[in-house]
A = this chain, B = another copy of it.
Amino acid sequence: MEDVDHLAHERSKAQFDVEEMKIVWAGSRHAFEVTDRMSRLVASDPIFRKDNRTLLPRKELFKNTLRKAAHAWKRIIELRLTEEEASKLRFFADEPNFTELHWGMFVPFIKGQGTDEQQKKWLPLAYKMQIIGCYAQTELGHGSNVQGLETTATFDPLTDEFVIHSPTLASSKWWPGGLGKVSTHAVVFARLIITDDRDYGVHGFIVQLRSLDDHLPLPGITVGDIGNKFGSGAYNTMDNGLLRFDNVRIPRDQMLMRISQVTREGKYVQSNVPRQLVYGTMVYVRQTIVADASCALARAVCIATRYSAVRRQFGSQNGGVETQVIDYKTQQNRLFPLLASAYAFRFVGEWLKWLYTDVTQRLQAKDFSTLPEAHACTAGLKSLTTTVTADSIEECRKLCGGHGYLSCSGLPELFAVYIPACTYEGDNVVLLLQVARFLMKTVSQLPSGMKPVGTTAYLGRVEDLMQCHSTVKKAEDWLNPSVVLEVFEARATRLSVACAQNLSKFAKQEEGFLELAADLVEAAVAHCQLIVVSKFIEKLQEDIPGKGVKEQLQTLCYVYALNLLHKHLGDFVATGCITPKQASLANDQLRSLYSQVRPNAVALVDSFNYTDHYLSSILGRYDGNVYPKLYEEAWKDPLNESVVPDGYHEYIRPLLKQQLRNARL
């Protein structure tokens, strides 16, 4: 019974080679092999079980996370895993914990901003986890505006030390992951003040927080967890922390000095290392966020797609079986664009990896010419993909109807654990405003003959794009990459140019930026969507092996683009890129594309190659055996430990027996 595949019929309908699609999704045969092996390793290890996570009270939950983190590290050492394998293992262990910040922020920052000497001293300790580090930037009163941080680091020339201090309550460090209960060290961001009382702005310092002997906070340091967060389980496995300094002294050589130094004499000196290096790190971090977005979105889509094939509702005739909900156009219209987005984000994420390599090479050659464009592009894509992913996880939950609301659907926890991505590493709206600023600058420089580069190159054809009209005459005309690309380019151009024109009406440009912020955000979104569409189209120009694989991806690419066109119809029609008639033809085409996706839907989510362990969703089970497992799961709830609930005698019985009046509640 256990081995029946309730979705076998769905799988048999697929018109493409699923194994080849798995390779495309993973990025390469090698990446597939590593990912596959690590996901199975985690899934088969009982210590990594997650099934009771949403039921544990915070302390037990957290202790169990510490256990998993230690176990993961143990396995990494025992099996001598490569860095790539280790990071996949942590990914599939699928539980936020201190090691993320240690490896993802503490180590990279020392590498990026520490001198050679500093790296020599600290990195070996960090690599062996003899110290555990976190990244303490945001404060209770200060988030997006890094330049507004209040913590101070004052140089004391008498002792050759910095004095780290929290001058106000609002300056308490707040949110850093791993800080609350685990980290022994932190990279702390503070305003550098030198003896002449001059403020040199925000710099990073390595500060030891806890004793390596007994884990107690060092003198002058107050540290703790900031409390419960969204959801059950979810991000509550992480000890996001608060931190206050009462004149804590650290040696001068614990300021990260690769870019600027303070000398023994208290002189502030800039090194000859370009400051732009900082942006390289940002491009790296944001590229990983885009990759994670595609994984999280794929996970939600996988659950919703499989369950939509299992679930039946309405449409039965004479007591026969009902219709699978995935056959309803309303379901397809909501679900398939998300499936297409998962693939779209995957490919744009892959391209960002290339961009990071490119930027790094250029930086090493001191070529900074593409950096602003690369920075705007990654900022925009981080914002776009995380916003869409967060909203789509919730949409997938709704697509699962009532049962999506049960913890065991996996979707509530996935949502709760994912959404911080919209805020960390740059609030999504703030990032879009940065993109808009870059676009406005690019547009303003066009008349002077400046040639826009990379993802903004299309703006070089501004005159054409301001005037072009789509040539679409029938629905199938939309199945043409250059037709699609042109309308997206035209829309992005026209929104940017309109913003630039409106901005020019303001006496002070800054005032215009504030007043027109909402329009600027829309222009930035249009630009970012164009990037995703164009990278999907570029991907399809590659040689993609496997029966039917490329055809499926083509279909998904058009679903992605035409759905966006429908969603942002106002932009396209109001700017004259397309006529209402063409919009309606696009819609007709979209519907017939859905029919093409339908028989392949389950196979397209199988191609993500997710284990049931990783999905942790009864609705998304590979075998589709949903109802018996839901029923089984229900009985595990602590409320079902007794037939008559705790509290019956105190509260229910007196109520039923009309004896409440005298009861002491």
A433 touching B574, Cβ below 8 Å: no
Instruction: Choose among B69, B429, B516, B637 the residue that contacts A228 (Cβ–Cβ < 8 A).
Output: B637
- State whether the Cβ of A596 lies closer than 8 Å to any Cβ in chain B: no
- State whether the Cβ of A78 lies closer than 8 Å to any Cβ in chain B: yes
- State whether the Cβ of A292 lies closer than 8 Å to any Cβ in chain B: no
Given contacts A145-B314, A330-B517, contact A225 B639 (CB under 8 A): yes
A66 touching B651, Cβ below 8 Å: yes
Given contacts A433-B330, A658-B130, contact A580 B576 (CB under 8 A): yes
Once the chains are docked, how many angstroms separate the CA of A580 from the CA of B491? 14
Given contacts A70-B655, A647-B63, A655-B73, contact A665 B47 (CB under 8 A): yes
Q: Which chain B residues border A144 with CB–CB below 8 Å?
A: 313-314, 401
Quick one: copies of this chain in the complex?
2
A308-355 at interface with B (beta carbon < 8 Å): 312-314, 316, 322, 328-330, 333
A656 touching B132, Cβ below 8 Å: yes
Nearest B residue to A399 by beta-carbon distance?
B429
- State whether the Cβ of A121 lies closer than 8 Å to any Cβ in chain B: no
Taking the closest CB of chain B, its distance from the CB of A380, in whole angstroms, is: 15
A228 touching B645, Cβ below 8 Å: no
Given contacts A67-B651, A73-B655, A138-B402, contact A230 B412 (CB under 8 A): yes
A634 touching B329, Cβ below 8 Å: no
Instruction: Choose among B227, B398, B521, B633 the residue that contacts A422 (Cβ–Cβ < 8 A).
Output: B398
Interface pick from A4-12, A214-222, A297-305, A608-616: A214-222
A: number of interface residues (CB 8 Å): 137
Given contacts A646-B59, A647-B67, contact A514 B328 (CB under 8 A): yes
Q: Which chain B residues border A78 with CB–CB below 8 Å?
A: 661
- State whether the Cβ of A441 lies closer than 8 Å to any Cβ in chain B: no
Once the chains are docked, how many angstroms separate the CA of A566 from the CA of B522? 12
Once the chains are docked, how many angstroms separate the CA of A41 from the CA of B600? 58
Q: Which chain B residues border A24 with CB–CB below 8 Å?
A: none
Nearest B residue to A665 by beta-carbon distance?
B71
* Contact digits for A159-187, partner B, Cβ 8 Å, 1 yes 0 no: 00000000001101001000011101000
* Contact digits for A490-523, partner B, Cβ 8 Å, 1 yes 0 no: 0000000000000000000000001111110100
- State whether the Cβ of A268 lies closer than 8 Å to any Cβ in chain B: no
A54 touching B228, Cβ below 8 Å: yes
Nearest B residue to A130 by beta-carbon distance?
B656
Overall SS of chain A's interface: helix
Instruction: Choose among B47, B636, B645 the residue that contacts A62 (Cβ–Cβ < 8 A).
Output: B645
Once the chains are docked, how many angstroms separate the CA of A633 from the CA of B140? 13
Taking the closest CB of chain B, its distance from the CB of A315, in whole angstroms, is: 8
- State whether the Cβ of A628 lies closer than 8 Å to any Cβ in chain B: yes
- State whether the Cβ of A40 lies closer than 8 Å to any Cβ in chain B: no
Once the chains are docked, how many angstroms separate the CA of A302 from the CA of B128? 49
Interface pick from A257-265, A281-289, A403-411, A542-550: A403-411
Q: Which chain B residues border A658 with CB–CB below 8 Å?
A: 128, 130
A365-423 at interface with B (beta carbon < 8 Å): 394, 398, 401-402, 405-408, 412, 416, 419-420, 422-423
A54-79 at interface with B (beta carbon < 8 Å): 54-59, 62-63, 66-67, 69-71, 73-74, 77-78
Once the chains are docked, how many angstroms separate the CA of A263 from the CA of B654? 38
Nearest B residue to A224 by beta-carbon distance?
B640
Once the chains are docked, how many angstroms separate the CA of A63 from the CA of B650? 9
Once the chains are docked, how many angstroms separate the CA of A575 from the CA of B584? 11
Q: Which chain B residues border A591 with CB–CB below 8 Å?
A: 515, 518
A184 touching B57, Cβ below 8 Å: no
B225 touching A634, Cβ below 8 Å: yes
Q: Which chain B residues border A635 with CB–CB below 8 Å?
A: 224
- State whether the Cβ of A481 lies closer than 8 Å to any Cβ in chain B: no
B330 touching A429, Cβ below 8 Å: yes
Q: Which chain B residues border A516 with CB–CB below 8 Å?
A: 329
Q: Which chain B residues border A322 with CB–CB below 8 Å?
A: 145, 148
Q: Which chain B residues border A312 with CB–CB below 8 Å?
A: 141
A47, A235, A655, A661: residue with the most chain B Cβ atoms closer than 10 Å: A655
Given contacts A67-B665, A70-B655, A330-B429, 16 further A-B contacts (CB under 8 A): A47-B665, A57-B57, A59-B638, A66-B647, A70-B650, A77-B661, A129-B656, A132-B656, A144-B313, A145-B322, A215-B648, A224-B635, A225-B634, A330-B517, A570-B573, A576-B580
Smallest CB-CB A-B distances: 4 pairs: A569-B570, A230-B412, A574-B580, A63-B647
Q: What are 8 A-B contacts defined by CB distance under 8 Å?
A: A58-B637, A63-B651, A74-B663, A231-B416, A569-B570, A569-B574, A573-B573, A574-B580
Chain A residues packing against B (C-beta within 8 Å): 47, 54-59, 62-63, 66-67, 69-71, 73-74, 77-78, 128-132, 138, 140-145, 148, 169-170, 172, 175, 180-182, 184, 212, 214-217, 224-232, 235-236, 239, 242, 312-314, 316, 322, 328-330, 333, 394, 398, 401-402, 405-408, 412, 416, 419-420, 422-424, 427, 429, 433, 514-519, 521, 566, 568-576, 580, 583-584, 587, 591, 627-628, 630-631, 633-641, 643-648, 650-656, 658, 660-661, 663, 665
